[in-house]
Chain A
Amino acid sequence: MSARDEILGRVRSALTQADRSPVAVPTTHRGRVHEGDLVELFVERVEDYRATVTRCADSEVAGTVSRLLPEGTSVVLAPGFEWSVPGAAVDSGLTAVQLDSVGAVVTGATVGIAETGTLVLTHGPGEGRRLLSLVPDVHVCVVRASQVVADVPAAIGVLDPRRPQTWISGPSATSDIELDRVEGVHGPRTLHVVIVD
Chain B
Amino acid sequence: MTGTFVGMPAFPTAARAALADSQLRSNLAHATSTIRARRLAVVGELDGWEELRLAGAAIKDNTLLHLDEHLLALEASLTARGAVVHWARDADEACRIVAGIAKDHGADEVVKVKSMATQEIGLNEALAAEGIAAWETDLAELIVQLGDDLPSHILVPAIHRNRAEIRQIFLDKMAAVGRPAPADLTDEPARLAEAARLHLREKFLRARVAVSGANFAVAETGSLVVVESEGNGRMCLTLPDVLVSVVGIEKVVPTWADLDVFLQLLPRSSTGERMNPYTSIWSGVTPGDGPQEVHVVLLDHGRTRALADEVGRQALRCIRCSACLNVCPVYERTGGHAYGSVYPGPIGAILNPLLRGVGTDDQVDSLPYASSLCGACFEACPVRIDIPAVLVDLRAQVVDAHRGGVPRPEAAVMRSASWVLGTARRLGAAERASGLVGRVAGRLARRSSSSGRPLMSRLPGPGAGWSDARDLPAPPAESFRAWWKRTEGGHR
Q: Name the interface residues of B300-323: CB closer than 8 Å to any CB of A.
A: 300, 304-305, 307-308, 310, 313
Q: Name the segment of A58-66, A69-77, A103-111, A179-187 touching the other chain.
A: A179-187
Q: How many residues of A contact B (CB 8 A)?
A: 72
In which size bucket is the chain B interface? 35 or more
Partner of B218, one of A12, A27, A161, A177: A161
- Complex Cα distance, B67 from A111, in Å, reads 32
A residues 102-138 touching B (CB-CB < 8 Å): 113, 115-118, 123, 129-131, 134
Contact A96 B204, CB 8 Å, known A167-B279, A186-B235: yes
Whether the pair B189, A182 counts as a contact (CB closer than 8 A) is: yes
| Interchain CB contact under 8 A, B280 and A29 | no
Q: Chain A 169-192 against B: per-residue CB contact (8 Å), 1 yes, 0 no? A: 111111111111010111110000
**From A18, A115, A161, A175, contact of B223 by CB (8 A):** A161
Q: Which residue on B lies nearest to A184, using beta carbons?
A: B193
| Pair A187/B249 contact, Cβ less than 8 Å | no
Interface residue stretch chosen among B135-143, B176-184, B441-449, B461-469:
B135-143
Q: Give, as a whole number of angstroms, the nearest-CB distance from A119 to chain B.
A: 10
Q: How far is the CA of A171 from the CA of B230 in the complex (A)?
A: 9
What are the interface flags for B1-43 relative to A under an 8 Å C-beta threshold, 1 for contact and 0 otherwise? 0000000000000000000000000010011001100000000
Given known A49-B277, A173-B277, A177-B192, contact A29–B62 (CB-CB < 8 A): no
Segment at the interface with B among A2-10, A81-89, A140-148:
A2-10
* Cα–Cα, bound, A170→B267 (Å): 14
8 A Cβ contacts from A33-80 to B: 45, 48-49
B162→A96 contact, CB < 8 A: no
Q: Is the CB of B229 within 8 A of A161?
A: no
Asked if residues A7 and B279 are in contact (CB atoms below 8 Å), the reply is no
- Give B141-190 interface residues, CB cut-off 8 Å to A: 143, 156, 158-159, 162-163, 166, 189-190
Chain A residues with CB under 8 Å of B101's CB are none
Report whether B230 and A15 are in contact in the complex, using a CB–CB cutoff of 8 Å. no
Chain B residues near A152: list those with CB within 8 A: 260, 263-264, 275
A4 to B278, CA, bound (A): 32
CA distance A176 to B166 in the complex (A): 10
Contacts of A4 in B (CB 8 A): 75, 87
Contact with A along B224-262 (1 / 0, CB 8 A): 000001111011011100000000010000001101110
Q: Which of A134, A165, A180 contacts B235 (CB under 8 A)?
A: A134
Contact residues of A: prevailing secondary structure: loop
Pairwise interchain contact B221-A187, C-beta atoms closer than 8 A: no
Distance in angstroms from B470 CB to nearest chain A CB is 29
Cβ-closest chain B residue relative to A27: B55
In the complex, what distance in Å separates the CA atom of A153 from the CA atom of B262?
10
Nearest B residue to A154 via CB reads B260
- Report Cα–Cα, A179/B38, bound state, in Å: 12
Partner of B68, one of A11, A30, A166: A11
CB neighbours (8 Å) of B159 from chain A are 178-179
B93 at the interface (CB under 8 A from A): yes
Point out the residues of chain B lying under 8 angstroms from A96, CB to CB.
204-205, 239
* Contact of A185 with B264 in the complex, beta carbons under 8 Å: no
Q: Are B277 and A172 in contact (CB under 8 A)?
A: yes
- The answer to whether B274 touches A11 (Cβ under 8 A) is no
Structural contact, B48 and A28, CB atoms closer than 8 A: yes
Q: Is the CB of A7 within 8 A of B87?
A: yes
Please state if A187 and B278 are interface contacts (CB–CB under 8 Å): yes
Whether the Cβ atoms of A186 and B89 lie closer than 8 Å is: no
Q: Which residues of B contact A12 (CB under 8 A)?
A: 68
What residues of chain A lie closer than 8 Å to B367, measured between beta carbons?
none
Q: Counting CB contacts under 8 A, is A168 at the interface?
A: yes
B52 at the interface (CB under 8 A from A): yes
A25 close to B55 (CB less than 8 A): yes
Question: When chains A and B are docked, how far (Å) is the Cα of A90 from the Cα of B41?
Answer: 42
* Chain B, Cβ-Cβ closest to A118: B275
Given contacts A26-B54, A164-B281, A169-B273, contact A10 B304 (CB under 8 A): yes
| Docked-complex contact A179 and B156, CB < 8 angstroms | yes
- Whether, in the assembled complex, B72 has its beta carbon less than 8 Å from a beta carbon of chain A, the answer is yes
- Given A161-B221, A182-B190, A175:B87 Cβ within 8 A: no
Are B192 and A169 closer than 8 Å at their CB atoms?
no
How far is the CB of B481 from the nearest CB of chain A, in Å? Answer: 44
**Contact call B229/A173, Cβ cutoff below 8 A:** yes
Interface pair B275/A178, CB less than 8 Å apart: no
Q: Which residues of B contact A7 (CB under 8 A)?
A: 71, 87, 89, 249, 298, 300, 304
B271 contacts A by Cβ under 8 Å = yes
3 nearest CB pairs, A to B:
A187-B231, A186-B231, A14-B308
Pairs A–B under 8 Å by Cβ, sample size 24: A3-B88, A7-B300, A10-B307, A11-B71, A14-B304, A14-B307, A14-B308, A23-B58, A29-B261, A96-B239, A129-B290, A130-B290, A134-B231, A134-B238, A152-B263, A166-B279, A167-B263, A167-B275, A169-B276, A169-B278, A176-B156, A176-B158, A177-B163, A185-B139
On B, residues with C-beta under 8 Å from A are 27, 30-31, 34-35, 47-48, 51-52, 54-55, 57-59, 61-62, 65-68, 71-72, 75, 81, 86-89, 93, 137-140, 143, 156, 158-159, 162-163, 166, 189-190, 192-193, 196-197, 200-201, 204-205, 218, 220-221, 223, 229-232, 234-235, 237-239, 249, 256-257, 259-261, 263-264, 271, 273-283, 286, 288-290, 298, 300, 304-305, 307-308, 310, 313
